[in-house]
Amino acid sequence: MNRTEKEAFVGELSQSLHSAKTLVVAHYRGLTVKQLSALRRTMRAEGGHVQVAKNRLAKLAFKGTPFEQLNALMTGPTILAYAKDELAPTRVAQKFADANEAMQILGGMMDGKMLSKAEVKLYASLPSLNELRGKLVGLLQAPGAQLARVTRAYADKAA
């Protein structure tokens, strides 16, 4: 990469990171191109991005974004997983890391808060917003459905 390509890359990455709410940093040494492509496809399906970047360029892209504190994690061959959705990067990265020992999550950041490896795993285990909505609707409908069953049972008994 020449200087202009590097500047363009840093600008694009910085612009993408400004709109991201969550970023996960992981080591990817030992992953094949096929595995990285699968990770990118999965993340894209969730509305996120996966970026392999030189640490020096990533640190430059972090300047002026909420992710400046992640500079300490940028050592070795790192990969960045980020998205506008708060949980998508943690969920996809953790699921992929569980399936592939070569990928090791280092940490991340969500809404201005640094995340440890354990916290990334914790957030990855949380249900998605749609799953929570479904559970809430089920909980709200349960009392009405139970009342209908009880009254129908009495009506059947009387008949």
Judgement on whether residues 157 and 122 belong to the same structural domain of the protein: no
Q: Give the separation between CA 43 and CA 49, rounded to whole angstroms.
A: 6
Judgement on whether residues 120 and 131 belong to the same structural domain of the protein: no
In the chain, the number of structural domains is 2
Judgement on whether residues 96 and 147 belong to the same structural domain of the protein: no
Q: Give the separation between CA 121 and CA 64, rounded to whole angstroms.
A: 27
Name residues whose C-beta falls within 8 Å of residue 35's C-beta, 6 or more positions apart in sequence: 100, 102
| pTM given for the model | 0.77
Q: Give the separation between CA 136 and CA 130, rounded to whole angstroms.
A: 10
> For 53-89, what is each residue's pLDDT tens digit?
899 999 999 998 889 888 888 998 999 999 988 888 9
Q: Which of 113, 88, 1 is nearest to 53 (CA)?
A: 1
Judgement on whether residues 85 and 62 belong to the same structural domain of the protein: yes
Judgement on whether residues 73 and 10 belong to the same structural domain of the protein: yes
Judgement on whether residues 8 and 84 belong to the same structural domain of the protein: yes
Judgement on whether residues 66 and 142 belong to the same structural domain of the protein: no
Judgement on whether residues 116 and 151 belong to the same structural domain of the protein: no
Judgement on whether residues 79 and 28 belong to the same structural domain of the protein: yes
Judgement on whether residues 82 and 102 belong to the same structural domain of the protein: yes
User: What does the pLDDT read at residue 150?
Assistant: 75
Helix (H, G, I), strand (E, B) or coil at 153: helix
Give the structural domain span for 132: 127-159
Q: Give the separation between CA 118 and CA 37, rounded to whole angstroms.
A: 25
62: its two tokens? 């972090």
> For 121-154, what is each residue's pLDDT tens digit?
988 888 877 787 888 888 788 777 777 777 787 7
Judgement on whether residues 41 and 109 belong to the same structural domain of the protein: yes
Check whether 112 has a pLDDT greater than 80.
yes
Average pLDDT across the chain, whole number: 88
Dihedrals phi, psi of 107, to nearest 5 degrees: 155, -160
Judgement on whether residues 121 and 136 belong to the same structural domain of the protein: no
